[in-house]
Structure 1
Amino acid sequence: MDYDATKIISVEPVFSLLGAKIIELKEGYAKIAIEYKSELTRRGGVLNGGIIMTTMDFAGGLATLTVNDGIDQVTQELKTNFLEPMSKGPFYCEGRVVRKGRTTVVVEIKFFDSENKLGAIGLGTWYIIRDRKIQK
């Protein structure tokens, strides 16, 4: 399957705002990068945790997209453990599909700094949307 990274990012303006770049995208796997920007940090120049989680959500969603046989998907759950403060960019985030079921996809996500230090690890579940009918 061929994925147009420019089109994917253009559909989600928040990722352009972050300056996210898709590094690699293949079946069951996504790797993205974001640059260090002072406006994305908290006190002490450390990357804000919400920015890390947003990036992890993006990587997990992209990994899910590569195996999605439905018409759309939404994040159902994203659990994150922050392990180290992150201040040395660029930062990299990898999402790897652990299991694909009929209605959900489980993805392991890791967030690294430019020195390959693991800053956060997460486990997410994406719900596969198969139709847009409203059920009563």
Structure 2
Amino acid sequence: MIANTDRKSGSLVIRKSINESLNELTQQELEHIEHIIRSIKRSKDGDFHYFGRSLGINIENENRVTMDLGLQNANKYGVAQGGAVYTLADVALGYKIISALAKTEERKVLTIELKVNFIKQGKGSKLYADPVILHQGKTTVVGQCMIVDDENDLVAVGLGTFFAGNK
């Protein structure tokens, strides 16, 4: 009972602190907070993890994954941060492999290795990831992902090896 009371009072302190902080934020910062809250809520449906959603990643279909560019994934120069671009490639390739495997059997997919070559800065409103499977073995899959911007200019190329094992 004491632990539950402590949790409730701690929760009230956090809510008060958040409410006070909200009054000091800019419009852009408030929009970012709203994005985080939406990401948390949407990740509860179980189809896609919070981290990807928080970066603005959206799965269009097995051949196209996008990432909305903004405060959630920008570096100090205002362009897409390299780690966010890397994650976009990882998610796109992983989803492509999961979709291909789902046609035959359900298996877990884990990244073994992923190399990303950054070609140019990620600018615009979105980045678009187009994954392809290059080789599918019994337990490993090799894939490539081209990432382009709004102008269809190449931003990055990812090449990865993934483990595809039994769940």
Q: TM-score, normalised by structure 2?
A: 0.67
Q: Higher RCO, 1 or 2 (CA under 8 Å, sep at least 6)? A: 1
**Runs of 4+ off more than 6 Å:** none
Give the unaligned 5+ runs of structure 1. Answer: 1-5, 132-136
Using the TM superposition, give the Cα deviation of residue 126 of structure 1 relative to its aligned residue in structure 2, in angstroms: 0.7
Using the TM superposition, give the Cα deviation of residue 51 of structure 1 relative to its aligned residue in structure 2, in angstroms: 0.2
SS of the residue 1:126 aligns to = strand
Residue 77 of structure 1 corresponds to 113
Q: Are 1:57 and 2:90 an aligned pair?
A: yes
| Number of equivalenced pairs | 120
Using the TM superposition, give the Cα deviation of residue 23 of structure 1 relative to its aligned residue in structure 2, in angstroms: 1.6
Select the residue among 69, 78, 101 that pairs with 1:45: 78
Tell me the distance in 2 between the aligned counterparts of 1:86 and 1:94: 15
Give the unaligned 5+ runs of structure 2. Answer: 1-44
Using the TM superposition, give the Cα deviation of residue 38 of structure 1 relative to its aligned residue in structure 2, in angstroms: 2.3
Which has the greater radius of gyration? Answer: 2
Using the TM superposition, give the Cα deviation of residue 70 of structure 1 relative to its aligned residue in structure 2, in angstroms: 4.9
CA RMSD of aligned residues (A): 1.6
Taking only the aligned residue pairs, the percentage that are identical comes to: 27
Letter matched to residue 22 of structure 1: I
Using the TM superposition, give the Cα deviation of residue 19 of structure 1 relative to its aligned residue in structure 2, in angstroms: 2.2
Which of the pair is proportionally richer in strand?
Answer: 1
Matches within 5 A, 1:51-130: 51-68=84-101, 69-130=105-166
Q: TM-score, normalised by structure 1?
A: 0.81
Using the TM superposition, give the Cα deviation of residue 89 of structure 1 relative to its aligned residue in structure 2, in angstroms: 2.0
CA offsets, 1:54-92, max 9 Å, x none? 011000001110222452110001011000011112111
